Structure 1
Amino acid sequence: MGTSPQKRSGTQVALPMPVGRALRGLGQDISAARRLRRLSQEDLAQRIGTSLSTVRRMEDGYPGTALHTFLRALHVLGRLEDMVKVMAMENDALGMELVREQLPQRIRMARGNTPRSRRGAVAKDDSSAGSYTDELEGF
């Protein structure tokens, strides 16, 4: 089936093949989840507040189906939280890697600032000789 064109403001936009496959796969998964719960397409349509033809198009992976229709179907099927977890920031490995790449390599002090006396230096009196204090103590 290749790429299917979509109309948007009078222009033709080709649907990338991975997106088309993902839509068809999501539609098939929603169909299977619906059938496992012994719901008809009519029942699902009624529960998500849409038409039977919209449910059929969604399950076929039609690219013109609104995202909120997919999300409402997932909600009715008890799978919405799984979608939310998949999209959580902590699961975005590429995004987190891009953030790490933007971190500065080192931090420089602003001009005019003199370094604070080191709190971790060895104490001068003999009673506490050899003991160090944590530089971040009380931080």
Structure 2
Amino acid sequence: MPSSCQKRSGAQVAMPQPVARALHRLGQDISAARRMRRLSQEDLAQRIGTSLSTVRRMEDGYSGTALHTFLRALHVLGRLDDLSRAMSLEKDALGMELVRELLPQRVRSLSRRQRPQAGPTSGGRDGDADGDVDVLEGF
């Protein structure tokens, strides 16, 4: 079965080309990072606790390689934090835009019935005998 297809309930599901390209590129990047660190595929396989053939398939961008295998390889290569930073919510421009769209257009004051009832005042003083001050005074 080609690497761009996956079986589910007997049906073939084609992998989108951008996903296939990204997977292949990730495998190439892992391979280059491994070689820059002078690690053999066997060394990497041993460090991430998998077989040599799994490392080869991962570096080839095989879609059947488990995500945790990629993540363990990135951890061994010291690149896992880079992936975490890239996926942080602050860098999710589309997600942040969707959240902004949900913000209310305006905020209304509470009606008189919804406002909390103020207690007896102490004749214009800033605090009571205990020294408590209303922090919202003046707003």
Q: CA deviation at 1:5?
A: 1.1
Q: Secondary structure of the equivalent of 2:56? A: helix
The equivalent of 1:43 in structure 2 is 43
Q: CA deviation at 1:31?
A: 0.1
Q: CA deviation at 1:4?
A: 1.7
1:3-51 Cα offsets, whole Å, 9 max, x none, are 8211123221100000000000000000000000000000000000001
* Counterpart residue type for residue 98 of structure 2: L
The answer (yes or no) to whether the contact 1:54–1:65 under 8 Å persists in 2 is yes
Q: Secondary structure of the equivalent of 1:108? A: coil
Matches within 5 A, 1:96-107: 96-107=96-107
Q: Which has the higher contact order (CA 8 A, sep 6+)?
A: 2
The answer (yes or no) to whether the contact 2:3–2:63 under 8 Å persists in 1 is no
Structure 2: give runs of 5+ residues left out of the alignment. Answer: 117-135
* Counterpart residue type for residue 15 of structure 1: M
* Counterpart residue type for residue 83 of structure 1: L
Matches within 5 A, 1:16-31: 16-31=16-31
**C-alpha distance in 1, partners of 2:21/2:9?**
24
**C-alpha distance in 2, partners of 1:137/1:79?**
52
The equivalent of 1:94 in structure 2 is 94
* Counterpart residue type for residue 6 of structure 1: Q
Matches within 5 A, 1:54-73: 54-73=54-73
The answer (yes or no) to whether the contact 1:45–1:55 under 8 Å persists in 2 is yes
**C-alpha distance in 1, partners of 2:49/2:78?**
16
Q: TM-score, normalised by structure 1?
A: 0.77
State yes or no: 1:79 paired with 2:79. Answer: yes
* Counterpart residue type for residue 21 of structure 1: R
Q: Percent identity?
A: 76
Q: Secondary structure of the equivalent of 1:107? A: coil
Go from structure 1 to structure 2 and tell me whether the alpha carbon gap of 1:114 and 1:56 turns closer, same or farther (over 3 Å shift). Answer: closer
Q: CA deviation at 1:76?
A: 0.2
Q: Secondary structure of the equivalent of 1:7? A: strand
The answer (yes or no) to whether the contact 2:23–2:61 under 8 Å persists in 1 is yes
Q: TM-score, normalised by structure 2?
A: 0.77
The answer (yes or no) to whether the contact 2:27–2:58 under 8 Å persists in 1 is yes
Q: Secondary structure of the equivalent of 2:35? A: helix
The answer (yes or no) to whether the contact 1:3–1:17 under 8 Å persists in 2 is no
Give the aligned CA root-mean-square deviation in angstroms.
2.6
